[in-house]
Structure 1
Amino acid sequence: MNSTAMARSGRTHAERAARGSATEGAARAGLTARGVIYLLVGILAIQVAFGDSSRQADRGGALEEIAQHSFGVVVLWALAAGLVGMALWRLSEVVFGAAGQDGRKARKRAMSAVRCVFYSFVAYSVIMFAASPGGGGGGSSDKQSRDVTARALGLPGGQWIVGLAGVGVVAAGVWIGVRAVRRKYHDKLKLGEMSRRTRQLVDVTGVGGGAARGLVFATAGVFAVRAAIDYEPDRAKGLDDTLRSLAHTPLGPWLLVCVALGFMLFGLFSFALARWRKV
């Protein structure tokens, strides 16, 4: 066997390993962990909508909620392990391509790379919180957003950087919402293994959850653009402040309730993906 054939054989074995049961298990554990976090954030947001201002409706608040219960630390470490699995799964997609006919395209690999970086950061924050529950490892999304915006505004051309980033987040929110409404996620699901009733229920969670995520992303992007225009880092908002801002619209707290329910639906949708997603 020549060197070219050996290299091809080695790559084939590596790709099979990347798509093997270990990677599939890591992906499904990561999707489950994401579902738990979104479900808790949705519950916290509903409490905020009904006047409980002490709640922090973001990932940090969800981690604090878990830590307050017995076996909370065990659950935190389980979530951290799941999110590490999610990051490794996305890394395997960067290297070997994602599932599906166009999974090897550069655009798909680039999106997987972005998701890998994002979930690596999320996993790190959960690990830090699990190592020291209540020590601030989860962090406030609002403070993080303001700090990052302040540092970016201090760079040469900082207003343009923050403004363009905000526009990008708005575009991402619209993209997420439109794809959810158009049910683009069907391409990633093992629809043949679902009954008609199950598909209908999954669509409720996928459309409702995706639309809610898209709205929140787009709203956060608008705040970032305003921060750039006004040169005021405090105008940038994390997830908690973005959700709270929805309660101050003409629709009052009911818009926040709807979005909170949407987040809970997305948590359930993540559980569905953990069961039926193609990996």
Structure 2
Amino acid sequence: MNARTMSLRGRSKGRQAANSSAMDAAARWGFAARGVIYLLIGLLALQIAFGGGGKQADRGGALAEIGEKPMGSFVLWALGIGLVGMCLWRLSEALFGAAGPDGHKTSTRLLSAGRFLFYGFVAYSVLTFAAGDKGGSSGDEQSQDVTAKAMELPAGQWLVGAAGIGILGAGLWIGVRAAKRSYHKHLKLGQMSRGAKRYIDVTGVGGGLARGLLFAALGWFVVKAAVDYEPDKAKGFDATLRSFTDTPAGPWLLVLVALGLVLFGMFSFGMARYRKV
């Protein structure tokens, strides 16, 4: 058996694994885990909007909220494992292509590779939290520390600025795709009832717009930190959400964004049911 034949067989087995029922279950478990985290971040942000802002409205705050509940440790491990499943599914898309007519395009596979790295980081943070490492600093402090270290690199100010523009652009891209309902091409529309389609559209558009606005604001603060050469101006989820109360709309903008994040959590549950994998 020559090397080419072995390579083809290896790829064939890889594709079979990527299209297996186990990978299907892993991806859906991952969407559900993502939904739980965004739902809790949204609820924590609502508490801040109405004056009960003691807890961080970010992933760390959501995990701490879960950990305080009965069976919290079990749920944390379940979420972490679900996110590992999401990570592996995105890796399989990057290696073997995604479902749909555009799934084998280079741009689609590169996007899946980026999502693999992102969800790998999120899964690691959730699993380490479940294992007892609660972290020594908040998400906001971590953002400022990373920004400060990046600025110490050669051309660090430009690198941070470019990263901020990238995050801001990603937020706008998320919002536009949500408004255009681009997620429709990934859904099993033929298996969905009229009520299910309405549920997906309400949660998908509202949740996507809120998530896009949040990421765009995150990117803006990173850009501002780079321009002013002040790492402390970079913000994490919690500080960015709280900053919405400083706008002319006051706490009501935060309420809208928080409700949107709750909707995005619900949208993730819908994707766990109806997403093509």
Q: TM-score w.r.t. structure 1 length? A: 0.96
Distance, in Å, in 2 between the alignment partners of 1:93 and 1:252 is 42
Unaligned runs of 5+ in 2: none
1:1-279 aligned within 5 A = 4=4, 7-132=7-132, 135-137=133-135, 140-279=138-277
Evaluate the alpha carbon distance shift between residue 138 and residue 266 of structure 1 in structure 2; reply closer, same or farther with a 3 A threshold.
Answer: farther
Distance, in Å, in 1 between the alignment partners of 2:146 and 2:4 is 47
C-alpha displacement of 1:231: 0.5
The answer on whether the counterparts of 1:129 and 1:138 sit within 8 Å (CA) in structure 2 is no
Q: In the alignment, residue 257 of structure 2 is paired with which amino acid? A: V
Q: 1:10-63: CA deviations, max 9, x gaps?
A: 422320121101111110000000000000000000000111121100000000
- Paired residues in the alignment total 277
The answer on whether the counterparts of 1:208 and 1:265 sit within 8 Å (CA) in structure 2 is yes
C-alpha displacement of 1:153: 0.7
Q: In the alignment, residue 232 of structure 2 is paired with which amino acid? A: D
Q: In the alignment, residue 109 of structure 2 is paired with which amino acid? A: R
Q: In the alignment, residue 39 of structure 1 is paired with which amino acid? A: L
Distance, in Å, in 2 between the alignment partners of 1:6 and 1:165 is 41
Distance, in Å, in 2 between the alignment partners of 1:262 and 1:176 is 13
Q: In the alignment, residue 193 of structure 1 is paired with which amino acid? A: Q
Q: 1:198-242: CA deviations, max 9, x gaps?
A: 101110000000000000010111101110011000000000000
Q: In the alignment, residue 73 of structure 1 is paired with which amino acid? A: S
Distance, in Å, in 2 between the alignment partners of 1:100 and 1:126 is 30
Q: CA RMSD in A?
A: 1.4
Distance, in Å, in 1 between the alignment partners of 2:84 and 2:64 is 19
C-alpha displacement of 1:195: 1.0
Aligned residues with identical type, % of pairs = 62
Q: In the alignment, residue 66 of structure 1 is paired with which amino acid? A: I
Q: In the alignment, residue 101 of structure 2 is paired with which amino acid? A: Q
C-alpha displacement of 1:5: 5.0
Distance, in Å, in 1 between the alignment partners of 2:263 and 2:189 is 19
Evaluate the alpha carbon distance shift between residue 146 and residue 2 of structure 1 in structure 2; reply closer, same or farther with a 3 A threshold.
Answer: closer
